[in-house]
Copies of this chain bind each other. A is one copy, B any other.
């Protein structure tokens, strides 16, 4: 995991929205795409970036790919940001 990949992944509004959706529940690529006006291919590319940053897991289930959050990487970002935060 490259630290830079995580911040780059988080820098896109659509990708942050994907994370918000996955926070509610696990979703297939198609279910995620349904929440956007963008093409499925575009969403697939965003999912690849999130996967590479290790912010999400992808599990093939038959012809579907189920996406879920990988919460472990968020910690590192929070840890770095927390040091700037008055409230610790």
**Interface, chain A (partner B; CB < 8 A):** 4, 7-8, 10-13, 16, 19, 23, 69, 71-72, 74-75, 77-78, 80-88
Contacts and interface: CB of A to CB of B under 8 A. Distances in A.
Number of copies: 2
A78 B82 contact: yes
A contacts with B: majority SS: helix
Contacts of A69: 84
Contacts of A82: 74, 78
A16 to B, nearest CB: 7
A23 B83 contact: yes
A83 B23 CA distance: 8
A70 to B, nearest CB: 9
